[in-house]
Amino acid sequence: MKKIHIIHENSEWTVHLTRRLEELGLPYEEWFLDQGLVDLASAPPEGVFYNRMSASSHTRGHRYAPELTGVVLSWLEHHGRKVFNGSRAIQLEVNKVYQYVTLNQHGVQTPKTIAAVGKEQIVKAAEQFLGKPFITKHNRAGKGLGVRLFYSLEGLKDYVFGPEFEDSVDGITLIQEYIQAPEPFITRCEFIGGKFLYAVRVDTSEGFELCPADACQIGDLFCPAGEEAPQKPKFQVIENFQDPIIQKYEEVLAANKIQIAGIEFIRNQAGEIFTYDINTNTNYNSDAEAAAGTYAMLELAKFLGKELEKVEGESIISTK
């Protein structure tokens, strides 16, 4: 029997999907790619393949999982298998510079960003932001790795040449303009099958914790300690969200053959949108979804099931 094959390295993020697949009676198999081998002379199994590899895999001891995934995806695609979030998706997942370039190519505005390798070059790049706050972040990130806010060059030097400095796993640090929003929130747009599903408003008043399942946090410099916790939920699905940016996002995803993603943006004081992240290993907040009555993992499971039906040539989704 053909199956839905889920490529990942973190069961905690995958269990919500497998539960939905089981509810629908869909056959699946997990490919946990923390290590392994690929016989290029062999043919992969039939079915459909969904890549959920994460840029932060190295923080869980799976340093080369994305590289192995890239090999596997290339092998699958060579044999004509139906792959969702294929080779281009993993390239973007682990490289924010690639994300910004492809967004810009499609007319999507991103924050001013400079990529630097080497501590002296990080400081040199920051000199272009003198008089304005700026942030640093890792090029291969996830979990808010390396994200810090600075108000001065001296503050950056203390960090870069101090004991707390943490280099990106790929050696590339991004120095980026800090976008000051009129209200403390960002917006995350979710896409399944390359089409917009819903948008989530994420409260950042207690820090830049953006990932629904894996909180990403900047330190106290971003949000001073002692601020009262917000009364409203941190994650809220926005009812009937509409904006021209959605069409551009769908064009970006289509051009890069990405079917499942979360794309995040922030508005500045003038209301301009700045997009800063394409997450191809997207997760969803269960409380926000329950309040809105919409469930992305269920929709994703249905999407994968329908795609498997196309391969099988018959209906297999349970109607129970």
pLDDT mean over 8-34: 97
**Nearest CA to 62 among 116, 106, 7?**
7
CATH topology (fold) of 113-177: Dna Ligase; domain 1 (3.30.1490)
- What whole-number distance in Å separates Cα of residue 49 and Cα of residue 61? 24
Q: If you classify domain 3-85+300-312 with CATH, what class do you get?
A: alpha beta
Residue 61 has pLDDT above 80, yes or no: yes
Neighbours of 126 (CB within 10 A): 22
Lowest mean pLDDT among 177-191, 225-239, 301-315: 225-239
Which residue spans of the chain are classified as CATH 3.40.50.20?
Answer: 3-85+300-312
Query: How close are the terminal C-alpha atoms of the chain, in Å?
Result: 21
Q: What is the pTM of this model?
A: 0.90
Contact criterion met (CB below 8 Å) for 171 and 122: no
Please give the pLDDT value at position 1: 85
Phi-psi region of 313 (alpha: psi -120 to 50; beta: other; left: phi over 0): left
Which residue spans of the chain are classified as CATH 3.30.470.20?
Answer: 96-110+180-293
Which residue spans of the chain are classified as CATH 3.30.1490?
Answer: 113-177
Please give the pLDDT value at position 232: 76
- What whole-number distance in Å separates Cα of residue 204 and Cα of residue 49? 34
Q: If you classify domain 96-110+180-293 with CATH, what class do you get?
A: alpha beta
What sign results for the dihedral spanned by CA atoms 158, 156, 172, 209? positive
Q: What angle do CA 289, 291, 296 make, to 5 degrees?
A: 15
